[in-house]
């Protein structure tokens, strides 16, 4: 289940399926794409708040989340454009509450994406035989599932996440954000670890 960097960064070859695009599928994809654009700004605001509250390691997690959101904005935008849509932010506000509340919010959103939004999109893409979309959205589902685990861990051990020390890595293809880098390649999309973005 591997996808080349060029396929994601340089344009996804889904044109043969564009004519078959279901308007409802495109609308749902646009909504998720907009959410991802909002997440980039929201996680950046959450990181600033966490730094202000001395939760430096939570701040690093939110910065990694912002990098991940950027990756998915890019891959989703390619899909949206191939299907004839125009990517745009959903426009949700990016206000930051306390770090504890921000983590709880991030966990809730990530869980919803992992358990509902992406599975529905993957199923719709599968039903339409849209192979590239299935692959990209399956990657996103797997990445956000792992991200939810990080939010849960941080929330459950919040006081231990003060101070510096945790290093995150973000895959430039699927958007996986991982605490440390234990494998030579991305466990989701097999991108070499040397290509990951380091976030502290």
Residues making contact with Fe ion (CB under 5 A):
171, 173-174, 176, 186, 188-189, 191
| Strand order, beta sheet including 168-170 | 177-179, 168-170, 197-199
Whichever of 26 and 174 has its CB closer to Fe ion, that residue is: 174
Tokens 């954000």 locate to 177
CB of 186 to Fe ion, least distance (A): 3
State in angstroms the smallest separation of the CB of 189 from Fe ion.
3
Give the nearest distance from C-beta 166 to Fe ion in angstroms.
Answer: 20
CA distance 43 to 96: 9
Look up tokens 């339409």; give the residue. Answer: 128
CB burial of residue 182 (10 Å; 0-12, 13-18, 19+): exposed
* Distance of closest approach, residue 136 Cβ to Fe ion, in angstroms: 11
Sign of CA dihedral 172, 88, 151, 25: negative
Smaller CB separation from Fe ion, 81 or 190: 190
CB-nearer residue toward Fe ion: 154 or 188 = 188
Nearer to Fe ion, 12 or 50 (CB): 12
């Amino acid at each position: 289940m591997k996808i080349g960097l060029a396929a994601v960064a340089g344009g996804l070859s889904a044109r043969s399926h564009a004519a078959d695009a279901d308007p409802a599928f495109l609308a749902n994809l646009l909504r998720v794409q907009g959410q991802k654009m909002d997440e980039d700004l929201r996680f950046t605001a959450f990181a600033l708040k966490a730094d202000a509250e001395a939760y430096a390691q939570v701040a690093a997690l939110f910065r990694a989340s912002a990098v991940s959101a950027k990756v998915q904005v890019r891959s989703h935008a390619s899909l949206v454009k191939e299907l004839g849509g125009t990517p745009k932010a959903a426009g949700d506000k990016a206000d930051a509450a306390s770090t504890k509340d921000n983590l709880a919010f991030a966990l809730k959103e990530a869980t919803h994406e992992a358990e509902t939004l992406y599975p529905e999109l993957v199923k719709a893409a599968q039903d339409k035989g849209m192979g590239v979309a299935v692959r990209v959205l399956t990657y996103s589902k797997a990445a956000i599932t792992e991200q939810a685990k990080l939010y849960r861990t941080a929330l459950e051990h919040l006081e231990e996440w003060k101070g510096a020390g945790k290093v995150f890595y973000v895959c430039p293809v699927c958007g996986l954000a991982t605490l440390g880098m234990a494998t030579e390649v991305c466990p989701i999309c097999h991108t070499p670890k040397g290509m990951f973005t380091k976030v502290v």
